[in-house]
Amino acid sequence: MKDYPDRMTPAQARMFRDDVLNIVSQIPRGRVTTYGYIAALAGWPSHSRMVGRTLRYTPGAEQLPCHRVVNQVGRTAPGWSRQRTLLEEEGVTFKANGHVDMSRHLWEPSDPFLR
């Protein structure tokens, strides 16, 4: 049973986008977090895919540390090889399979200020 709305109004979509950008801007250097976690934090647990869409298509998102966002197993964004370079420059370590070592760099903010 979901205790959250399952569809966004345009106004909610704008708020969601702002929350996502706000959260991403708070990821510390050398740490990473996941799409799903960001979505849940913004109050829309089932919208992890929308987080990726937001970062991809929102103008100005490239000025945020969006390279610190990976999926749940630490895989980097497809077609964006530079992401790995940026992370490595911050000291993030990768495993032999090409995934970020999540057990070491996952960032889980307790309760970022939103709204």
Partner DNA sequence: CACGTGACCCTAT
Partner DNA sequence: TATAGGGCCACGT
* Contact positions vs DNA (CB under 7 A): 6-8, 13, 34-37, 46-53, 55-56, 61-62, 66-67, 69, 71-73, 75, 77-80, 97, 99
User: Would the CA dihedral through 41, 32, 18, 58 be positive or negative?
Assistant: negative
- Tell me how far, at minimum, the Cβ of 91 lies from DNA, in Å: 19
Give the chain's end-to-end CA distance (angstroms, integer).
26
Instruction: Give the gyration radius of the chain's Cα atoms.
Output: 14
- Tell me how far, at minimum, the Cβ of 115 lies from DNA, in Å: 19
- Separation between Cα atoms, residue 56 and residue 80, nearest integer Å: 11
Residue closer to DNA, measured from CB, 12 or 28: 12
- Tell me how far, at minimum, the Cβ of 97 lies from DNA, in Å: 4
